[in-house]
């Protein structure tokens, strides 16, 4: 029963906060959970991969293990249809959604859909279980910080007290018999904390029910669900090295699990040169900054999503105690100082990270690197697939030097990237970008950052000189664009903005001294 589980979690948290009645942090209940090795894919099945932009305000990767392309297409259609359906129920950004309509009511018992009723009930449970660290009305505080950032100031103590007071007010009541929800306050509410994970799980379920689907991975903005007969490699983004092609901080091998990552390294407010996290503590009104990333693995998608956000707000000790009361939960917490905290069972999920090729000879400008920012043009409505994109480097003799990124779905359409394919077709064996999936803090839709460290494809530093950066975008038998920009690889910083085109809204190059992170 949900109310009993909620009570147990709350007692666990409160007991831990008092320091009484709890076992040592290193011996929590989840430490004895055994994870069988993920099953290998069925022979004869094929893995179909699709990438979409502007899904729930971010990017989506969908993998389907199916017997045929027709079965995979059916699974894809089922997943996207379910996402669109739930978005029309739960979105606070859509004025016509059920949730937005309900927000416009006041002190009226409204019979709501089962999905909205369930999500509101889950927020009630997690607000209690987290001691107030997770609250749908945290949007009151988020809006205050956004207004203050626009004025380049931090909120006053009086403003923060008023915002926290508004958060503490009751915002709704639920009647489980009549299945109604009564909206009580005027506070802005957002169901972001784990509604995305809720939607991902139901999209994965819908895909599994369609056609001859054997396994599915749905990854929306770095939160994901893996279902079926598939062993999936999940890379965890390093919060201090946030380019798309930076090495992960860890790597897991998972099956039939949900993963969620929350952190302050992709979204926030810059005020007077200081970065403030977009994750706020509803109890104090302050941005949460002691933890910079939290990744949670769980059999439950909503547990993973709720805990990942909550762990950014609570102290690590509080997070450890809370996780101890929820079987099957494993976590990786990275603190602001760089300390790495893991659950006792985390190491059972880990798989070795492939080492980057080592440089074998000195280069000409070893202290410089190139940052490349891309923004893909977004379709306003519907589920638009991401174009195929290749980003690579040529020397002054037009010889290929380094492939920085290659994004595509089906090998048969790889020649659509004409310029890259002409240079690399004899060297290309497999799309390494589709071998695994990435869990990270949510990025904005269509916005990507890549980095070139100055090494060639073999891991050797390039010599000083002129190089050409190429950014190519294409669609299957559709549009085609190619950007070129010459760059002097030396010891002089350079910043270059490139004009956009049909597929790439904008791109910029920032050649600068190497740093440890973004």
In the predicted structure, residue 25 carries a pLDDT above the cut 80: no
pLDDT of residue 357: 52
In the predicted structure, residue 134 carries a pLDDT above the cut 90: yes
Unique residue bearing structure tokens 């990237």: 417
Burial of 107 (0-12, 13-18, 19+ CB in 10 A): exposed
**CATH match of 2-15+44-348 with 3.10.520.10:** yes
pLDDT of residue 43: 55
Look at residues 501, 470, 466 and name the one whose alpha carbon lies nearest to residue 483.
Answer: 470
Per-residue DSSP letter, 350: B
Single pTM value for the model:
0.87
pLDDT of residue 33: 39
Look at residues 314, 289, 331 and name the one whose alpha carbon lies nearest to residue 135.
Answer: 314
Please count the helices (runs of H) and the strands (runs of E) in the chain.
Answer: 10, 25
Mean pLDDT for the chain?
87
Domain range summary for the chain, segments of one domain joined by +: 2-15+44-348, 368-513
In the predicted structure, residue 239 carries a pLDDT above the cut 80: yes
Mind listing the pLDDT tens digit for each residue in 150-191? 999 999 999 999 999 999 999 999 999 999 999 999 999 999
In the predicted structure, residue 36 carries a pLDDT above the cut 50: no
In the predicted structure, residue 397 carries a pLDDT above the cut 70: yes
In the predicted structure, residue 398 carries a pLDDT above the cut 50: yes
Mind listing the pLDDT tens digit for each residue in 60-71? 999 999 999 999
Look at residues 80, 72, 78 and name the one whose alpha carbon lies nearest to residue 47.
Answer: 72
Look at residues 257, 260, 151 and name the one whose alpha carbon lies nearest to residue 159.
Answer: 151
How, if at all, do strands 232-236 and 436-439 pair?
parallel
Look at residues 178, 161, 250, 165 and name the one whose alpha carbon lies nearest to residue 439.
Answer: 250
> How many Cα neighbours within 13 Å face the side chain of 56?
33
Unique residue bearing structure tokens 């209940």: 29
């Amino acid at each position: 029963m949900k109310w009993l589980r909620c009570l147990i979690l709350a007692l666990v948290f409160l007991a831990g906060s008092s320091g009484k009645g709890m076992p040592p942090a290193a011996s929590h209940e989840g430490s004895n959970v055994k994870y069988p090795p993920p099953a290998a894919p069925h022979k004869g099945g094929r893995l179909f991969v699709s990438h979409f932009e502007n899904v729930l305000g971010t990017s989506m990767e969908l993998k389907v293990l199916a017997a045929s392309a027709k079965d995979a297409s059916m699974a894809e259609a089922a997943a996207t249809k379910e996402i669109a359906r739930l978005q029309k129920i739960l979105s606070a950004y859509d004025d016509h959604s059920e949730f937005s309509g309900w927000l416009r009511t006041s002190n009226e018992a409204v019979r709501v859909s089962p999905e909205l009723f369930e999500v509101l009930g889950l927020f009630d449970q997690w607000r209690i279980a987290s001691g107030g660290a997770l609250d749908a009305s945290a949007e009151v505080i988020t809006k205050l910080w956004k207004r203050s950032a626009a004025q380049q100031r931090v909120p006053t103590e009086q403003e923060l007290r008023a915002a926290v007071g508004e958060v503490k007010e009751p915002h709704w009541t639920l009647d489980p018999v009549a299945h109604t929800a009564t909206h009580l306050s005027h506070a802005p509410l957002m169901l972001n904390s784990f509604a995305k994970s809720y939607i991902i799980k139901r999209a994965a379920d819908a895909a599994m029910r369609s056609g001859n689907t054997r396994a599915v991975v749905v990854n929306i903005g770095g939160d994901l669900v893996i279902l079926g007969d598939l062993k999936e490699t999940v890379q965890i983004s390093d919060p201090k090295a946030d380019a798309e092609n930076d090495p992960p901080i860890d790597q897991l091998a998972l099956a039939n699990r949900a993963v969620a990552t929350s952190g302050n390294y992709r979204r926030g407010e810059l005020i007077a040169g200081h970065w403030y996290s977009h994750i706020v503590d509803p109890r104090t009104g302050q941005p949460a900054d002691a933890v910079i990333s939290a990744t949670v693995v769980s059999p439950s998608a909503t547990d993973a999503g709720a805990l990942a956000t909550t762990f950014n707000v609570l102290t690590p000790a509080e997070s450890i105690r809370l996780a101890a009361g929820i079987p099957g939960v494993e976590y990786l917490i990275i603190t602001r100082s760089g300390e790495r905290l893991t659950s006792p069972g985390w190491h059972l999920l880990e798989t070795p990270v492939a080492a980057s090729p080592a440089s074998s000879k000195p280069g000409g400008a070893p202290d410089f690197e190139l940052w490349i920012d891309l923004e893909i043009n977004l379709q306003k409505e519907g589920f638009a697939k991401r174009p195929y994109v290749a980003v690579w480097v040529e020397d002054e003799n037009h010889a290929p030097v380094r492939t920085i990124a290659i994004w595509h779905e089906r090998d048969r359409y790889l020649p659509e990237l004409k310029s890259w394919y002409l240079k690399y077709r004899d060297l290309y064996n497999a799309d390494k970008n589709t071998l695994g999936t990435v869990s990270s803090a949510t990025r904005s839709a269509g916005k990507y950052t890549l980095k070139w460290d100055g090494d060639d494809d073999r891991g050797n530093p390039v010599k000083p000189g002129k190089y050409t950066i190429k950014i190519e975008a294409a669609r299957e038998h559709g549009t085609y664009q190619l950007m070129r920009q010459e760059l002097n690889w030396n010891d002089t910083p350079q910043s270059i903005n490139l004009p956009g085109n049909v597929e790439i809204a904008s791109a910029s190059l920032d050649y600068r001294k190497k740093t440890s992170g973004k």
